[in-house]
Amino acid sequence: MWLAKTASHVLIIRIRNHLKRKKVNVEKVQINPEMEETRTEDLEINPQSHRETVKAKWLFALLVFVFGTFACEEITIYEKGQEFAGQVWDKDSTLFFYPEIRDTSQVVNIGFSFVHNNDYPYSNLWLFINVLSPDGHMQTDTMEFFVAEPTGEWIGKGSDNKKTVYWLYKNDVKLNAPGKFTFSVTQGMRRDALPGVRSFSLWIEKALTRETNSD
């Protein structure tokens, strides 16, 4: 099923590749009184050079935005989510996902997005995962993922009514056959009806790590 070595139990928070604005610390600067005597009219400004500088800055900003947008879109191969009626995940409710992968030469990461609220009663979530490949091979995993820190603080980000946490299921793997895969996911907690669950998603993205030849 997986043609690359993976960890069987992982807890990694995925960082999406979106452009984020960073805060810049602005320090107060004391002005030298002698510098205040500099007259503005003594500075000669070339209007044409000024316009070209402004134009170049706008062009650079536009290129950064376009490149960042297309890079984010190209990384995601598949992403599909399912919401829960009444925000309850029933034990007998199995989620199905059907990603279709054509290029098996690329290295991918496979993971889940879990959205919950403050009514979720546990700090973890057990999942029963079945993956059926196009060639008929079935792989079954029982995985534990964490929703809260040992201190009780939620790992996911967002408001009290909507916390989103990202889990990595398979890291840097190649799929063994092209075609449609079937992922089925069932909650494995002791409660038949698991409250506080808003949605659950499967995502597959291109791995950003370089391929290296092993010795």
User: Which pTM does this prediction carry?
Assistant: 0.65
The answer to whether residue 20 is domain-embedded is no
Pick the most confident of 49-53, 169-173, 209-213: 169-173
- Structural domain count of the chain: 1
Q: How far is CA 148 from the centre of its chain?
A: 18
Q: Tens digit of pLDDT for each residue in 157-192?
A: 998 899 999 999 999 999 989 999 999 999 999 999
Cβ–Cβ contacts within 10 Å for residue 76, how many? 13
Range of the domain at 177: 79-206
Under 8 Å CB-to-CB from 182, ≥6 apart: which residues?
Answer: 96, 97, 98, 130, 131, 132
CA distance 76 to 55: 33
The answer to whether residue 39 is domain-embedded is no
Domain CATH number, residue 171:
2.60.120.260
- H or E segment to which residue 128 belongs: strand 124-132
CB-count burial class (<10 Å; 0-12, 13-18, 19+) for 178: middle
pLDDT reading at 200 higher than 70 = yes
Q: Residue 91 has what DSSP assignment?
A: T
Q: Tens digit of pLDDT for each residue in 16-27?
A: 433 333 333 333
